Amino acid sequence: ATMLTAPAFAQDYPSRQMTMVVPFSAGGPTDTVARLVAEKMSADLGQTIVIENVGGAGGTLGAGQVAKAEPDGYTMLLHHIGMATSATLYRNLAYDPLAAFEYVGLVTEVPMVLVARKDFEPADINGFKDYVKANADKLTLANAGIGAASHLCGMLLMQALETPMVTVPYKGTGPAMTDLLGGQVDIMCDQTTNTTQQIQGGTIKPYAVTTPERLPLFPDLPTAKESGLESLEFAIWHGIYTPKGTPAEANERLSKALQAALADEGVIKAMADLGTAPSSAEDATPAALQAQLESEIARWKPVIEAAGVYAD
């Protein structure tokens, strides 16, 4: 019988246009990170990377599409902490997050800010907490669906205040921000990549940040810990994945392109202006992302189970 050997990995890889799926709407924080790094990865790879926004179900529709894509090295997914929380939140997920993907590397860890529409009554975070507790049944909290970073932060906020609010899900916090700017929704917890310009422009009202230390961009904003909201201390890490079966040589080549993008002065500056910073070269690797996903699934599983919040 002839030996069936795997086709030798094409030495001219990549030799055609590539796709990066973003599992949320265009114009939101995940899309912003994706377009920043894809532009420079494309330059390093010498091939166009087309961004495909596939929103819905808190990012799990887009992730599921990539899980089923051809593992040829030409389709990748850029997703964030939601890849880990969805593993527990969704009990009938179309894919196993720990079996359906190969890993390229970590991209960035983005802080979140608790914000409200610009004319929201409370003057500061303590007033915010009292006001929300007293008016919860009249307030709306926007997020990007169960599994989104904005959902996780909102869930932790409601748990910390022991106050359920009406939540309004969008296909991304890009469209959610439009309604917050218009005053159609009251509160949102979103990433600095989507809130920095609005905060600087005074078109939304910030209350606190989810980082352990205050942000240089917003030195007057208290941290979650200072605000008595210790459980809201977390950053939104982002990673790039490929479908299971994608050759290791492809994932390694993509990781090299990601590391080049993260070392680019323009990317570093753009991220700093949006309150975040690139992951290190060591973290922008397949092994680092795999370790991060595994540990984050384990970290958030008991928190989500304690909240009893599921998407069924």
Q: Which part of the chain contacts ligand MLT (CB under 6 A), choosing from 28-36, 122-130, 258-266, 295-303?
A: 28-36
- CA–CA dist 51, 22 (Å, integer): 7
Return the percent helix, strand and coil in the chain, to nearest 5. Answer: 40, 20, 40
28 binds ligand MLT (CB under 6 A): yes
Please tell me whether residue 196 binds ligand MLT under the rule CB under 6 A: no
Q: Does residue number 25 form part of the binding site for ligand MLT (CB under 6 A)?
A: yes
The binder of ligand MLT chosen from 18, 20, 21, 29 (CB under 6 A): 29
Instruction: Map tokens 């959610």 to a residue.
Output: 176
Q: Select 107 or 250, whichever has its Cβ closest to ligand MLT.
A: 107
Please say which residue, 108 or 150, places its beta carbon nearer to ligand MLT: 150
Q: Considering the rule CB under 6 A, would residue 24 count as an interface residue with ligand MLT?
A: yes
Q: Which of residues 145-174 bind ligand MLT (CB under 6 A)?
A: 148-150, 172-174
User: For residues 215 and 231, what is the distance between their CA atoms, to the nearest angstrom?
Assistant: 18
259 binds ligand MLT (CB under 6 A): no
Report the residue count for the chain. Answer: 312
The position carrying tokens 């114009």 is 27
Of 123, 125, 116, the C-alpha closest to 224 is 125
> How large is the angle between the packed helices 125-135 and 149-161, nearest 10 degrees?
80
Shortest gap between Cβ of 196 and ligand MLT (angstroms)? Answer: 13
Is 239 near ligand MLT (CB under 6 A)? no
Nearest Cα residue to 27 out of 148, 142, 178: 178
The reply to whether 60 sits near ligand MLT by the rule CB under 6 A is no
Local structure of 298: helix, strand or coil: helix
Residue indicated by tokens 């928190």: 303
Helical ranges in 119-234 per DSSP H: 125-135, 149-161, 173-181, 192-201
Distance in Å, CB of 109 to ligand MLT, minimum: 14
Stretch that binds ligand MLT, among 24-32, 37-45, 128-136, 277-285 (CB under 6 A): 24-32
Closest CB to ligand MLT: residue number: 28
Listed residue (141, 176, 155) closest to 234, CA to CA: 155
Our finding on whether 14 is near ligand MLT (CB under 6 A) is: no
Q: How far is the CB of 192 from ligand MLT (least distance, A)?
A: 11
Q: Which residues pair with 159 in a beta bridge?
A: none
Amino acid 305 reads E
Smallest separation, CB 194 to ligand MLT (Å):
6
Q: For residue 53, give both structure tokens.
A: 């926004």
Contact pick of 61, 144, 235, 274 for ligand MLT (by CB under 6 A): 144
CB 58 to ligand MLT: min, Å:
7
178, burial (CB in 10 Å: exposed 0-12, middle 13-18, buried 19+): middle
Residues making contact with ligand MLT (CB under 6 A): 24-25, 28-30, 82, 144, 148-150, 172-174, 190-191
